[in-house]
Protein backbone atom coordinates (compact mmCIF):
# COMPACT_ATOMS: atom_id res chain seq x y z
CA UNK A 1 0.00 0.00 0.00
CA UNK A 2 2.88 2.38 0.79
CA UNK A 3 4.35 1.86 -2.66
CA UNK A 4 1.02 2.59 -4.32
CA UNK A 5 0.69 5.77 -2.25
CA UNK A 6 4.22 6.83 -3.26
CA UNK A 7 3.43 6.29 -6.95
CA UNK A 8 0.17 8.24 -6.62
CA UNK A 9 2.05 11.12 -4.99
CA UNK A 10 4.60 11.18 -7.81
CA UNK A 11 1.79 11.29 -10.35
CA UNK A 12 0.07 14.14 -8.47
CA UNK A 13 3.37 16.01 -8.75
CA UNK A 14 3.34 15.63 -12.53
CA UNK A 15 5.47 12.51 -13.05
CA UNK A 16 4.53 9.78 -15.48
CA UNK A 17 5.15 6.56 -13.56
CA UNK A 18 5.47 3.21 -15.25
CA UNK A 19 6.08 -0.01 -13.37
CA UNK A 20 7.80 -2.90 -15.11
CA UNK A 21 9.24 -6.13 -13.79
CA UNK A 22 12.58 -7.49 -15.00
CA UNK A 23 15.80 -8.90 -13.58
CA UNK A 24 18.31 -6.07 -13.92
CA UNK A 25 21.14 -8.62 -14.11
CA UNK A 26 19.63 -10.34 -17.18
CA UNK A 27 20.66 -8.47 -20.31
CA UNK A 28 17.91 -9.90 -22.52
CA UNK A 29 15.17 -8.90 -20.09
CA UNK A 30 16.62 -5.41 -19.70
CA UNK A 31 17.09 -4.90 -23.44
CA UNK A 32 13.44 -5.89 -24.03
CA UNK A 33 12.23 -3.66 -21.20
CA UNK A 34 14.16 -0.61 -22.40
CA UNK A 35 12.89 -1.14 -25.96
CA UNK A 36 9.29 -1.25 -24.65
CA UNK A 37 9.85 1.94 -22.67
CA UNK A 38 11.41 3.74 -25.63
CA UNK A 39 8.64 2.68 -28.01
CA UNK A 40 5.91 3.67 -25.56
CA UNK A 41 7.32 6.82 -24.01
CA UNK A 42 10.10 8.00 -26.26
CA UNK A 43 13.58 8.78 -25.07
CA UNK A 44 14.95 7.62 -21.76
CA UNK A 45 16.26 10.70 -19.95
CA UNK A 46 17.41 9.18 -16.67
CA UNK A 47 18.14 5.97 -14.83
CA UNK A 48 17.56 5.26 -11.15
CA UNK A 49 19.16 1.93 -10.27
CA UNK A 50 17.87 0.94 -6.83
CA UNK A 51 18.04 -2.86 -7.03
CA UNK A 52 19.90 -4.76 -4.36
CA UNK A 53 20.08 -7.92 -2.32
CA UNK A 54 21.23 -7.78 1.29
CA UNK A 55 24.26 -9.81 2.23
CA UNK A 56 23.53 -11.63 5.46
CA UNK A 57 26.18 -13.77 7.11
CA UNK A 58 29.90 -14.32 7.16
CA UNK A 59 31.58 -14.93 3.80
CA UNK A 60 33.23 -18.15 4.96
CA UNK A 61 29.75 -19.60 5.49
CA UNK A 62 28.36 -18.54 2.12
CA UNK A 63 28.33 -20.43 -1.13
CA UNK A 64 29.60 -18.86 -4.34
CA UNK A 65 25.96 -18.71 -5.48
CA UNK A 66 24.89 -16.72 -2.43
CA UNK A 67 27.71 -14.22 -2.94
CA UNK A 68 26.94 -13.97 -6.66
CA UNK A 69 23.28 -13.24 -5.84
CA UNK A 70 24.28 -10.25 -3.68
CA UNK A 71 26.76 -8.90 -6.24
CA UNK A 72 24.61 -9.52 -9.31
CA UNK A 73 21.89 -6.89 -8.93
CA UNK A 74 24.31 -4.06 -8.28
CA UNK A 75 27.43 -5.05 -10.23
CA UNK A 76 26.03 -6.86 -13.26
CA UNK A 77 22.87 -4.75 -13.26
CA UNK A 78 24.84 -1.50 -13.31
CA UNK A 79 27.03 -2.67 -16.18
CA UNK A 80 24.01 -3.82 -18.21
CA UNK A 81 22.04 -0.61 -17.62
CA UNK A 82 25.03 1.53 -18.57
CA UNK A 83 25.74 -0.45 -21.73
CA UNK A 84 22.10 -0.47 -22.83
CA UNK A 85 21.69 3.30 -22.34
CA UNK A 86 24.87 4.40 -24.13
CA UNK A 87 22.86 5.91 -26.99
CA UNK A 88 20.39 7.69 -24.69
CA UNK A 89 21.03 11.31 -23.79
CA UNK A 90 20.73 10.81 -20.05
CA UNK A 91 20.34 13.71 -17.66
CA UNK A 92 21.43 11.38 -14.86
CA UNK A 93 22.36 7.79 -14.05
CA UNK A 94 21.69 7.47 -10.33
CA UNK A 95 22.67 4.38 -8.36
CA UNK A 96 21.49 3.67 -4.83
CA UNK A 97 24.46 2.69 -2.70
CA UNK A 98 24.79 2.33 1.05
CA UNK A 99 26.50 3.99 3.99
CA UNK A 100 27.81 0.49 4.68
CA UNK A 101 30.55 1.31 2.17
CA UNK A 102 31.85 3.75 4.79
CA UNK A 103 31.18 1.79 7.97
CA UNK A 104 31.20 -1.83 6.86
CA UNK A 105 29.03 -4.22 8.77
CA UNK A 106 29.19 -7.66 10.30
CA UNK A 107 28.08 -10.19 7.71
CA UNK A 108 27.90 -7.52 5.01
CA UNK A 109 31.19 -8.01 3.09
CA UNK A 110 29.57 -8.93 -0.21
CA UNK A 111 26.97 -6.18 0.15
CA UNK A 112 29.69 -3.62 0.93
CA UNK A 113 31.68 -4.82 -2.09
CA UNK A 114 28.63 -4.46 -4.36
CA UNK A 115 27.92 -0.93 -3.14
CA UNK A 116 31.59 0.08 -3.31
CA UNK A 117 31.49 -1.00 -6.95
CA UNK A 118 28.64 1.46 -7.54
CA UNK A 119 30.60 4.31 -5.95
CA UNK A 120 33.63 3.61 -8.13
CA UNK A 121 31.52 3.00 -11.23
CA UNK A 122 29.90 6.42 -10.89
CA UNK A 123 33.36 8.00 -10.80
CA UNK A 124 34.38 6.00 -13.88
CA UNK A 125 31.22 7.10 -15.69
CA UNK A 126 31.92 10.76 -14.98
CA UNK A 127 35.46 10.37 -16.35
CA UNK A 128 33.86 9.09 -19.57
CA UNK A 129 31.49 12.07 -19.75
CA UNK A 130 28.43 10.22 -18.40
CA UNK A 131 26.35 11.66 -15.56
CA UNK A 132 26.84 8.91 -12.98
CA UNK A 133 26.09 9.52 -9.33
CA UNK A 134 25.58 7.37 -6.26
CA UNK A 135 23.53 8.11 -3.19
CA UNK A 136 24.89 6.35 -0.11
CA UNK A 137 21.72 5.82 1.87
CA UNK A 138 21.59 4.94 5.56
CA UNK A 139 19.00 2.40 6.68
CA UNK A 140 15.41 3.17 5.81
CA UNK A 141 12.76 2.38 8.39
CA UNK A 142 9.78 0.14 7.67
CA UNK A 143 10.56 -0.56 3.99
CA UNK A 144 12.88 -2.47 1.71
CA UNK A 145 15.68 -4.49 3.23
CA UNK A 146 15.06 -3.17 6.73
CA UNK A 147 11.54 -4.57 6.59
CA UNK A 148 12.38 -7.77 4.71
CA UNK A 149 15.20 -8.71 7.08
CA UNK A 150 13.65 -7.20 10.23
CA UNK A 151 16.69 -4.97 10.78
CA UNK A 152 17.01 -3.28 14.16
CA UNK A 153 17.50 0.35 13.12
CA UNK A 154 18.74 1.27 16.60
CA UNK A 155 22.00 -0.61 15.99
CA UNK A 156 23.06 1.56 13.04
CA UNK A 157 25.90 4.07 13.28
CA UNK A 158 23.78 6.52 11.28
CA UNK A 159 20.26 7.65 12.01
CA UNK A 160 17.80 5.73 9.88
CA UNK A 161 15.33 7.47 7.59
CA UNK A 162 11.59 7.23 7.48
CA UNK A 163 10.17 6.75 3.99
CA UNK A 164 8.90 10.35 4.10
CA UNK A 165 12.38 11.67 4.96
CA UNK A 166 13.96 9.59 2.21
CA UNK A 167 11.44 10.81 -0.35
CA UNK A 168 12.08 14.43 0.66
CA UNK A 169 15.84 13.97 0.26
CA UNK A 170 15.39 12.25 -3.09
CA UNK A 171 13.08 14.97 -4.41
Q: SS3 string of the chain?
A: CHHHHHHHHHHHCCCCCCCCCCCCCCHHHHHHHHHHHHHHHCCCCEEEECCCCCCCCCHHHCCHHHHHHHHHHHHHHHHHHHHHCCCCCCCEEEEEEECHHHHCCCCCHHHHHHHHHHHHHHHHHHHCCCCEEEEEECCECCCHHHHHCCCCHHHCCCCCECHHHHHHHHC
Residue 26 pLDDT greater than 80, yes or no: yes
Closest to 34 measured CA to CA, from 74, 90, 75, 73? 90
Q: Is residue 72 part of a domain?
A: yes
What pLDDT is attached to residue 128?
Answer: 95
* Domain count along the chain: 1
Q: How many CA atoms lie within 13 A of 94 on its CB side?
A: 12
Q: Is residue 100 part of a domain?
A: yes
Range of the domain at 133: 23-31+44-137
Closest to 123 measured CA to CA, from 145, 100, 156, 101? 101
Q: Is residue 36 part of a domain?
A: no
Q: What is the pTM of this model?
A: 0.78
If pLDDT is split at 50, 70 and 90, which confidence band does 44 have?
A: very high
If pLDDT is split at 50, 70 and 90, which confidence band does 159 have?
A: low
CB atoms within 10 A of CB 4: 9
Q: Is residue 27 part of a domain?
A: yes
The enclosing domain of 71 has a CATH number of: 3.40.50.720
If pLDDT is split at 50, 70 and 90, which confidence band does 149 have?
A: very low
What pLDDT is attached to residue 139?
Answer: 66
Q: Is residue 153 part of a domain?
A: no
Closest to 24 measured CA to CA, from 80, 95, 92, 66? 80
Q: Is residue 126 part of a domain?
A: yes
Q: Is residue 167 part of a domain?
A: no
Q: Is residue 163 part of a domain?
A: no
Residue 160 pLDDT greater than 70, yes or no: no
State pLDDT tens for residues 84-123.
999 999 999 999 888 778 877 777 889 899 999 999 999 9
Amino acid sequence: IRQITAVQEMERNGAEVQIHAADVAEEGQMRSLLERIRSGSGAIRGVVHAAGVAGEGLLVRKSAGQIREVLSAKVTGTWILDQLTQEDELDFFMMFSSMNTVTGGIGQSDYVAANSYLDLYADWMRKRGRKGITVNWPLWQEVGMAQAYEVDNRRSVFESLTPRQGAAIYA
